[in-house]
Amino acid sequence: MQANDSDEINEAAGVTKRVVGLRRKKAESAHLRGLVDDPDMAAVRLEGQRRAITRGMWFFLALGLAFTTTSVQAFLAGDRAKTDPLWWGAWLAEPMLAGLLITLLMFEAEILSRGIEVDEPWVRRLKRILLSSTLLMSVWPTLMPLWTAGARFDLGNTAIHVIVPVVVFAVAEVMPVIQHKFNEAIARAYREARTQAATTIASAPPTMPAVPSKRLRLPESLLKPVRVKAAEVAASGRELTADDVREVIKVAPEMAAQIAAEVQQRNGHAFT
């Protein structure tokens, strides 16, 4: 906030509680704007959305498979009594098919998330066999009244038993695509973040080496020639350099650079 944007309420100056609240929201918005535009935050948001959408798709896929389980059980059990073991075993057929389908979808989604295309024909064939089997066993019991004398055919019941397996099949096809596209978007956001970081580093001004705060102490035999040389170069309108220092005294290049830097920092009055 600026100096006049304090959080103190002053009714006489027109600084009401609402004004203070709006100032706080303005400051918060300024911080949020930077986060919203940040590529790393974009990747985080995409990852969160991907997880939420994936969980929703899995949940509704499970509901659809649970619905088809009852139809498949009715198809397999037929007129058998509950005392017949096959009546109970029929409940396991659809969970078995659904378990295979879900395992296959998890494999496909994981491979696609690594940027590898699943182009094996038997993967798609197995998925279609599993879903076609569910569709056939789900719809067949609703079509039996067409061949049974005196039985009433229920079109609505048949329609729902067709629609649910078809939707399950569509979800099974779309889920890997969703995973793949989200992973592409997340990878792109991370690439933009790396590019932005590299650009920021490249455009940053070079940092100058810090001059030691502790002043050098030279003996008088070295100090006098340096003073004379510093005055000489100052009169010519330029700054003392390490080469100038080494012309008048014999010191290491690092020491000469340190002496010249201190003379420049103290406007030619170093060592005085």
Tens place of pLDDT per residue across the chain (272 aa): 444 555 666 656 667 877 777 878 777 776 666 666 677 777 778 888 888 888 888 888 888 888 888 888 888 888 888 888 889 998 988 888 888 887 887 788 778 767 777 788 888 888 888 888 888 888 888 888 888 777 788 888 889 888 888 888 788 778 878 877 887 787 787 777 777 666 766 665 655 555 444 566 667 667 778 788 888 878 777 788 888 878 888 777 777 787 777 777 765 554 54
CA torsion angle 81 73 137 61 (round to 10):
170
**Predicted local distance difference test score (pLDDT) of residue 217:** 67
**Predicted local distance difference test score (pLDDT) of residue 205:** 60
d(CA 48, CA 50): 5
The number of domains in the chain is: 2
Is 6 within a domain?
Answer: no
**Predicted local distance difference test score (pLDDT) of residue 167:** 86
**Tally of residues, the chain:** 272
Q: For residues 76 and 150, state if they share a domain.
A: yes
Is 233 within a domain?
Answer: yes
Task: Look up the domain containing 233 and give its range.
Answer: 220-265
Q: For residues 48 and 170, state if they share a domain.
A: yes
**Predicted local distance difference test score (pLDDT) of residue 2:** 47
d(CA 265, CA 124): 75
> Final residue of a domain: which of 203, 230, 253?
203
Q: For residues 162 and 83, state if they share a domain.
A: yes
> Final residue of a domain: which of 151, 175, 203?
203
Q: For residues 182 and 250, state if they share a domain.
A: no
Is 271 within a domain?
Answer: no
d(CA 144, CA 155): 12
Q: For residues 171 and 256, state if they share a domain.
A: no
**Predicted local distance difference test score (pLDDT) of residue 202:** 61
Is 4 within a domain?
Answer: no
Q: For residues 198 and 244, state if they share a domain.
A: no
Q: For residues 132 and 81, state if they share a domain.
A: yes
Q: For residues 132 and 246, state if they share a domain.
A: no
Is 150 within a domain?
Answer: yes
Is 179 within a domain?
Answer: yes
Q: For residues 57 and 170, state if they share a domain.
A: yes
> Final residue of a domain: which of 150, 175, 203?
203
Q: For residues 100 and 228, state if they share a domain.
A: no
Q: For residues 133 and 245, state if they share a domain.
A: no
Q: For residues 64 and 164, state if they share a domain.
A: yes
Main-chain dihedrals φ then ψ at residue 15, nearest 5 degrees? -90, 85
Identify the CA nearest to 175 among candidates 122, 121, 131: 131
